[in-house]
Amino acid sequence: MNRFSILAMVATGLFLATCDNNSAPKTEKNQQQVKVCELLTPEDIKQVTGQAMQPGESKYGITCRYGSVATNKVGLAAYQVLVRLVRHSEGLEAEVQSYDTMMKQGLGKDVGTYISKAVAGVGDRAIWEAHTGVAQLVVFTSSGPKSTATIFIQPDGFGSEQQSLEYAKGLAFLALKRL
C-alpha cells in the first residue's frame, strides 16, 4: 500500500461509518447529487497546479483519482490528486466534531503523529491534516441545519507541504462551485 492511500483509507473508512450518502445537500444551484469526478476536471487541476492530468477515475462513487500525464522513474503518475466527497445528514458543527473524534480514535496509538490545523477562507470549515507523510485538505460545507458535505483533497508529489496546501485550497474553491 502506498503512502498516498493510508490517510485516505483511515479518513474515508471512519467517516463513512456515520454517513448518509443519499442525503445530498440541496441548494438552488444543485437539486441533484453531483458525482465526485464532476467536482474537478483535468483542466481545473492543470489551471491550479500547472500539471497536465488524465481524466479522473471514480472508485466506490465517493473517490476520484487523477494521475498526471507526466510519469516518474518507475512509470507511475508523477503527480496525483485524490478527491473524495461524502455527504451527511448532520449539522456542520456536529460533523466537524464527529470527524475529529473519529480520526483520533481510528489512529489509536499513532494519534501522536497526526497533525490537524484550521484553514481559514475555504468552505464553512476546513482543516489541513497530515499523518505519516501524507497530507490532505478536509473542507466541510453546509447547506442547511441537517445537511453537510465534506470534500477531501489530497495532492501528492507537488513539492512542499505549503505548496500542496495552496494547490488543495485552489482546487477546493473550484470543487465547491460545483456542489
In this model, does residue 30 exceed pLDDT 60?
no
Mean pLDDT value across residues 148-171: 93
Mean pLDDT value across residues 69-93: 90
Q: Which domain holds residue 26?
A: 3-178
Mean pLDDT, the chain, integer: 82
Q: What pLDDT, on the 0 to 100 scale, is given for residue 164?
A: 94
Question: What CATH number is associated with residue 24?
Answer: 3.40.1000
Query: Distance between CA atoms of 119 and 137, rounded to whole angstroms?
Result: 9
pTM over 0.85: no
102 SS3 class: helix
In this model, does residue 107 exceed pLDDT 50?
yes
Please count the structural domains in the chain: 1
pLDDT digits (tens, 9 = 90+) for 142-153: 977 888 899 999
Least confident of 18-32, 58-72, 84-98, 150-164: 18-32
In this model, does residue 25 exceed pLDDT 80?
no
Cell matching residue 110: 499513532
Q: What pLDDT, on the 0 to 100 scale, is given for residue 31?
A: 37
**Which of 64, 123, 65, 133 lies closest to 96 in space, CA to CA?**
123
Core vs surface per residue 20-45: b (16+ CB within 10 A) or e: eeebbbeeeeeeebbebbebbbbebb
Q: What pLDDT, on the 0 to 100 scale, is given for residue 67?
A: 95
pLDDT digits (tens, 9 = 90+) for 52-71: 999 999 998 899 999 999 99
Q: What pLDDT, on the 0 to 100 scale, is given for residue 155?
A: 94
> Quick one: pLDDT band at residue 105, thresholds 50, 70, 90?
confident
Least confident of 2-6, 135-139, 163-167: 2-6
Burial zone of 107 (CB within 10 Å; 0-12 exposed, 13-18 middle, 19+ buried) = middle
Higher pLDDT, 64 or 88: 64
